[in-house]
Structure 1
Amino acid sequence: MTSLFSRIIAGELPAHFVWQDPDVVAFLSIAPLRVGHTLVVPRREVDRWTDADGETLWRCMKVAKAIGRGVERAWDAPRAGLVIAGFEVPHLHIHVAPVWDMSDFDFTEVTQEEDESALDAAAERLRDALRELGYKQTADAGAPSRETRRVL
């Protein structure tokens, strides 16, 4: 069965993409821990991170590091938090978010972001920070149109 994330990657469902390369994509969470909370996802479906081959896991972590640097810069955060949980969607994904303390990791406190303009602004802010840091894989070129960026 195709995962929700595979459908997003294929363009069947919308998302706010901030990174796209041949192996990995990253898009904003619609239920963020903090503004800028991003999901790093391999294009190839792998359920558990412990099942991923070394190359896939390495690529995801490399992109997660770039996204982490971007969220620190974009939101002037002292740290970029990283969590691999895997219960929400059966497709490997790494949560990366700007964090200020341990309470920022409380997934029981998240609510769905309903303000489309807030998601647009956060995605653009992160893409700008990634470009400033020299990353060329930001999702400007070839990204889905504004109408298809929203994750359902």
Structure 2
Amino acid sequence: MLKIFVNLPVADVGRSRAFYEALGFTINEAFSGESSACVVMSDTIYAMVMEPDDFAAFTDLPVADARTATAAMYALSADRRDEVDALLARAVAAGGTAARPPRDLGFMYSADVRDPDGHHWEFFWMDPVAAEQGPPS
């Protein structure tokens, strides 16, 4: 089984830890320190939040500022539609910013938030039938 590790540059690791813990995620202390933290989102999804100098050691390109440009959107699925709203509310209460109003496509419902460093996260629920058969035509 594949796992995904999303690496994110952050200005304040402590603030980022608190933000993601407020969403209900945990921190793997074995892979965390003063300048980085391993956020466990599920058994297969992890976010490594790192101070910019640590992050820069993994790339030869300039480190982007997610507050001024979007290079990627990270989407996390929810088991129920109401979980999307709950995740959004917790994210905003923890210092995130709603990126735009929630979208309801009938078969799919989503809400977008930017974390305190500007990284764009989408929480979404999709009707199980649409997930298997595709969206209604």
**Normalising by the residue count of structure 1, what TM-score does the alignment of the two structures yield?**
0.27
TM-score for both structures, normalised by structure 2: 0.29
Higher relative contact order (CA 8 A, sep 6+): 1
Q: Answer 1 or 2: which has greater helix percent.
A: 1
Q: Which has the higher strand share?
A: 2
